[in-house]
Amino acid sequence: MKNKPLKILIIIFLLSLAFNLYLSLSSPYLNNGGSYFNLRVIDNIKENGLPIFYDDLSYGGRPLVLQYFFHYFMTIFSFIPLYFKIIPSLLISSLVIISYFIAKEITNDETSSLLTSLLSGFVPIYSKILINQFTIYAFVLPLIALILLFLMKLEKKKYSGLFILFSFILSLTSSLSFLLLFILIFYVLLMNAENIKLIRLKKEILIFSFFLIFLVNVLLFRISFMEYGFNIIYGNNPILYSFNFFNSIYFIGIIPLFFGAIGLYQGFFKLKKESIVLISSLILGILFLLLLNIVNLNVGLLFLSFGLIIASSLSIKNFFTYLEKTKLSHIRLFFIWIFIFLFFILSLVPTYFGYYREFDDLSDFESLKYITEHDSVVLAPISYGHLITYFGGRINVIDTNFLLAPDPEQRYHDVDLIYGGWSYNKAVELIKDYNIDYIYINQYVKDLYNVADLNLENEKCIRKVEGSIYQFIC
C-alpha cells in the first residue's frame, strides 16, 4: 500500500506523456515558427560549436542577444530521432511529478497531491503554447517549478545549493528569470506583511540569488541596455496582444481557477502558510508583468495556471478534510471520481480540442533553396519569418526576434501595407526599399489580410514561381 501513491503518480505521468506525444507526433511539422529558429541555433552549435551571434538571414542581417543554455542542453539529445518533439513532451509531463511534490510540501496529503498532479498534466493553455512546440517555455516552466520547490525546502542545507544552481541556470536560459526576481520581491514583502519570519540562511540565499540573477542578465544584455535603456523590458516588441476575459478563463481552466482561488484565500488569509505565500508571490509576479505588458499574454496565462493549480491542492485537501467530519465520509471515493469526471470534461477535453496544427504544409518553404537565388529576400507575414531562414536558408524581412532588430515596428506596419493591397504605388515602393525578390502568398495570408490577391498581381508585378511563391518582377 505504501507504493500505491507512487504507482498512481507514474500512471498519471505516463498518461500525460502519451497525450503530449500523440498530439505532437500527429503532425510532421512543429507548431510556431519560433520552434524552427531554436532548431537552427542547435544545428549551428552542432556544426560550429557556437550558437548564432550574428544572423545574416534575419532582417537582412542583425546581431542576436539571447540566452543559449536551452539550446546547448537540447543539443545533448539531438542524436535522438524527433528529439525536438520527444524531449519537450517529457519536460511538460515532468510537471506532473514536480507539482505532486510541491503539493505534498503544502498539504502533506496524498490524495490532494495526486489530484493536483493530474490537473498539472492537462491544462488548455498547453495546447496553445507548449504542445508540439520546440519552445524555451517547455524548459523554463519546469525549471521555475523546481526552484519554487527548493525554495520551500531551503531550511535543509542540501536544497540551498540546488536553489542557487537552478536559479543561475534560469538566468542563462531566459529573460523570464526576471519573473523569479519579482517572485522573490513579492515573497519577502508578503512575509513581512504577515509577520512570518524568514530564517537567516534563507534571507542570505534569497539576497544572493536575487543579485546573481540580476547581474547575469545585465551582463548578457549589456548591449541591449545601452541601446534601449529601461525600455529593454518590452523587448522591442511591436505586437500588441488583446486580452479576452473568457478566452483567458478557458485557457487557464475552470477547475484550477475555482479551486486555486479558494486555496489562495484559505492559505493566505486563514492559515497564513508560508508555501501559499510563495505561490501567491508567483501569481502576483506574473500579474504584475502582464499589467505592464512585459510578457506575452499566453506566457502569462501559462504561469498563472500553474500557480493556481498548485494553490488548488490546499482547497482540495480542505474539502476532503471537511468531508471526513460529516456523515458523507463513507463516500469519499465517490467524490474523488466526481473530481476526476469534472477534470475529464473541463480540463482534458478542452486541452485536446484546443490543439490545432498551425502548419499543414511547409513544402513551399522547403523549395525556396531550389527555386530562389542564394541571397534572395523573401517576404512573408511575421509568423512565417523563421520558416524562410530555416527551411529555405533565405533572407526574411521580419521575424519574432525583435531585440536589436532594425525598426521591427515599422517593418511590421510595412508588411501589413504590402499585403493589405490598398495602394499599388506604396506597395511597390516598400518592396523596392526592402529589396524583396519573392513574396509568399497562400490562402492563410489572403484570409489574414482579407484580400483575394495582392494589388501587385493585378498590375502584373509578380509572377507565380511555384506553389505559393511569387517573384517580384517590376
**Digit-coded pLDDT (tens) for 134-147:** 999 999 999 999 99
Give the three cell numbers for residue 202: 534563507
130 and 154 part of one domain:
yes
Which stretch of DSSP H or E encloses residue 378?
Answer: strand 377-379
367 and 327 part of one domain:
no
* Share above pLDDT 70 across residues of the chain, in percent, rounded to a whole number: 96
Range of lowest pLDDT (107-111, 157-161, 280-284, 391-395)? 157-161
pTM for the predicted model, two decimal places: 0.92
343 and 391 part of one domain:
no
Q: Where a domain ends, among 327, 353, 379?
A: 353
Give the three cell numbers for residue 379: 517576404
Average pLDDT, the chain: 89
374 and 280 part of one domain:
no
Top-confidence residue, 325 or 308: 308
376 and 337 part of one domain:
no
232 and 293 part of one domain:
yes
- Residue 451 forms part of a structural domain: yes
What three-state secondary structure class fits 470?
Answer: strand
d(CA 405, CA 59): 7
- Residue 44 forms part of a structural domain: no
409 and 443 part of one domain:
yes
Top-confidence residue, 157 or 383: 383
Q: Which of 78, 55, 79, 77 is nearest to 66 (CA)?
A: 55
- Residue 36 forms part of a structural domain: no
Range of lowest pLDDT (74-78, 328-332, 345-349)? 328-332
144 and 214 part of one domain:
yes
Confidence at residue 455, expressed as pLDDT on a 0 to 100 scale: 65
Confidence at residue 458, expressed as pLDDT on a 0 to 100 scale: 61
Give the amino acid at 78: S
Q: Where a domain ends, among 296, 329, 353?
A: 353
Q: What is the pLDDT of residues 350-392, one digit of tens each?
A: 999 999 888 888 999 999 999 999 999 999 999 999 999 999 9
Q: Where a domain ends, among 330, 353, 376?
A: 353
Q: What is the pLDDT of residues 91-134, one digit of tens each?
A: 999 999 999 999 999 999 999 999 999 999 999 999 999 999 99
372 and 341 part of one domain:
no
pLDDT at 156 over 90: no
d(CA 388, CA 396): 6
Range of lowest pLDDT (401-405, 411-415, 458-462)? 458-462
- Residue 49 forms part of a structural domain: no
129 and 205 part of one domain:
yes
- Residue 106 forms part of a structural domain: yes
What value does the mean pLDDT take over residues 443-466? 77
Confidence at residue 106, expressed as pLDDT on a 0 to 100 scale: 93
- Residue 42 forms part of a structural domain: no
Confidence at residue 1, expressed as pLDDT on a 0 to 100 scale: 46
Confidence at residue 384, expressed as pLDDT on a 0 to 100 scale: 94
305 and 440 part of one domain:
no
Predicted confidence band of residue 459 (pLDDT cuts 50, 70, 90): low
Range of lowest pLDDT (80-84, 316-320, 459-463)? 459-463
Give every CB contact of residue 127 below 8 A, 6+ residues apart in sequence: 23, 351, 352, 354, 355, 356
- Residue 37 forms part of a structural domain: no
Q: Which of 175, 124, 129, 122 is nearest to 32 (CA)?
A: 129
Question: Structural domain of residue 379, as residue ranges?
Answer: 363-472
- Residue 47 forms part of a structural domain: no
Give the three cell numbers for residue 25: 507526433
Structural domains counted in the chain: 2
pLDDT at 217 over 50: yes
349 and 243 part of one domain:
yes
Confidence at residue 456, expressed as pLDDT on a 0 to 100 scale: 64
